[in-house]
Amino acid sequence: MTRYSAWSVFKNGLTGQKGWDRAWRDPEPKPSYDVVIVGAGLHGLATAFYLAKNHGIKNIAVLEKGWLGGGNGGRNTTIVRSNYMMPGNRYFYEHSLKLWENLSHELNYNVMFSQRAHIALLHSPAARDATARRYNTMRLTDTDAELWDLDTLKQAVPHLNYNNARFPIIGAAVQKRAGTARHDAVAWGYARGADQYGVDIIQNCEVTGVKRENGRVVSVQTSRGDIGAGKVGFAVAGNTSRLWQMAELGKLPIESHKLQAFVSEPLKPLLDQVVVFGVGGAHFYISQSDKGGMVFGGDLDWYKSYAQRGNLPIVQDVAEAAISILPCLGRVRLLRHWAGVMDMSMDGSAFICKTPLENLYLNAGWNYGGFKASPASGWYFADLIANDRPDPVIENLDLGRFERGINIDERGAGPDPKLHG
Amino acid sequence: MIRIKCPFCGERDHSEFTYGGDASVVYPDLDASAQQWHDAVFMRENIRGMQSETWHHVNGCRMWLVVQRDTVTHEIRSVRPAHDGFAVAMEVDQ
């Protein structure tokens, strides 16, 4: 396997670009594996990578019904941040951000992680006070957090609409280490990294059944035959409930909802940061990709759905929010828009946990936060699978937390999945 | 846009409505066990296919409706008032 470097680019430039290998193999499935991960999205691939790298388990298959990174891994707005307050989330997302900071080196693959700052606009003294509490709490975990006054914000982002009479901007909460990354590159980087350790990534292999015996999973039935498994991990956010029901495990504290994202035609450099606007029922986040497209999104479609396509009222809402904070986008044309199916959980937080079956492990419930979480999600899920016990950081990311009276509810929205945007 | 045939107002855009949630959830008695309440509040079947769900015609007649809708295709099979008395009075199939 070619190691990517400035030298390899130079050498192949002189030799007609003929020295490049496949980034990962396309193996036939073996009859059985020590660990089978279902879902070759960012979380599944990261899990396989860290299982091999951190725990020395290399006889692994990652099964994917479509192509790797073709689900929510390729359908997000690529924002990475760790501005969470609740115990259970704070350490987890900060660990994830630290992994992001070294990810390109770790994978020998440029994931184009750009720490360009995440700016959450503040519109009222009450919002500022609540955010001050959250951002001060973040600093207890050594997460960087700043509150900017209006003058500082105007210097950094001069072209926001500062004359909005209904929702005047009074400042911003800022995390400078936050930013964006190239989502496909993260999937490809983890796939290539895992493959180099000998992990089989098997695409076009849909799981159609889960065979149980004596409280254990024996094998998974797939469109490419039965595959035996020592341990099984589900990492299929969006379709977790379906797989859960294939294993005859009943209900989950999860509903599937869809979330849209948008990208405009490429523009000259306009916005250096990730800007978030959320007030009066609106929810809007925008950044500019390295290609120049404005990448943005808003709320869920507000009703449960497994369809990977969005509805028009949300397109309108998002466009209204865009124009209200960045009126200069008024004539910009939309290039593409798409929707992904999210695992919306009952408190807006994830699950990385053991299950009622002895050798089955669950990684699910990522709500809006799946992209930024993927390195730490893979890290802790691999640790859970390898050692059969949760790390203290994820001990409350289990299915039993509601029974214990624990809700990791950042928004305080209550047990209604669609409200945890 | 999903179009919902409100039994009171006629066919309207779904943006007039607010989605409630899974209509199959039945809350237990107040003195039921914590486990029963946990199951009703937190656990969902999350059907991929035809499901019963509640919608509130909040920008219309403000009535709660029970809608049978496919969660993949968004096709709607039936709409009836959520209140049983109304459903009976309007002779709508339940």
Contact B42 A402 (CB under 8 A): yes
> What mean pLDDT, rounded, does chain A reach?
95
Q: Per-residue confidence at A345, pLDDT binned at 50, 70, 90?
A: very high
Asked if the C-beta of A251 comes within 8 angstroms of chain B's C-beta atoms, the answer is yes
**What value, to the nearest 5°, has the Cα angle with vertex A41 and ends A39 and A43?**
95
**Which pTM value belongs to this model?**
0.96
User: What is the nearest CA distance from B58 to chain A, expressed in angstroms?
Assistant: 14
Asked if the C-beta of A304 comes within 8 angstroms of chain B's C-beta atoms, the answer is yes
Asked if the C-beta of A230 comes within 8 angstroms of chain B's C-beta atoms, the answer is no
Q: Which residues contact A60 (CB under 8 A, 6 or more apart)?
A: A33, A34, A35, A36, A37, A48, A51, A52, A194, A198, A199, A200
> Residue B25's closest chain A neighbor by CA?
A251
For residue A368, the model assigns a pLDDT of 87
Which of B19, B41, B48 lies closest to A303 in CB terms?
B19
For residue A281, the model assigns a pLDDT of 64
Strands A274-277 and A207-213: unpaired
* pLDDT mean over A67-81: 94
Q: Per-residue confidence at A403, pLDDT binned at 50, 70, 90?
A: very high
Q: How far apart are CA A222 and CA A37, in angstroms?
A: 13
ipTM: 0.93
* pLDDT mean over A25-41: 97
Residue reference for tokens 């600093």: A139
For residue A421, the model assigns a pLDDT of 75
- Taking CA atoms, B20 is separated from A316, A408, B64, in Å, by 22, 22, 9
* A28 touches A61 (CB < 8 A): no
* pLDDT mean over A166-191: 96
Asked if the C-beta of A402 comes within 8 angstroms of chain B's C-beta atoms, the answer is yes
Q: What is the pLDDT of residues A276-285, one digit of tens each?
A: 998 766 789 9
Q: Per-residue confidence at A293, pLDDT binned at 50, 70, 90?
A: very high
For residue A280, the model assigns a pLDDT of 63
Residue A237: exposure state from Cβ atoms within 10 A (0-12, 13-18, ≥19): buried
Contact list in B for residue A302 (CB cut-off 8 A) is 18-19
Q: Per-residue confidence at B84, pLDDT binned at 50, 70, 90?
A: confident
Contact B43 A313 (CB under 8 A): no
User: What is the nearest CA distance from A401 to chain B, expressed in angstroms?
Assistant: 11
* A224 touches A253 (CB < 8 A): no
Q: What is the pLDDT of residues A129-174, one digit of tens each?
A: 999 999 999 999 899 999 999 999 999 999 999 998 888 999 999 9
* A246 touches A207 (CB < 8 A): yes
Contact A307 B41 (CB under 8 A): no
Where in A176-253 does DSSP place strands (E)? 179-180, 200-202, 207-213, 216-222, 225-234
Helix axes A370-387, A183-196, angle to 10 degrees: 20
Q: What is the pLDDT of residues B49-58, one digit of tens each?
A: 999 999 999 9
* A193 touches A110 (CB < 8 A): no
* pLDDT mean over A334-353: 95
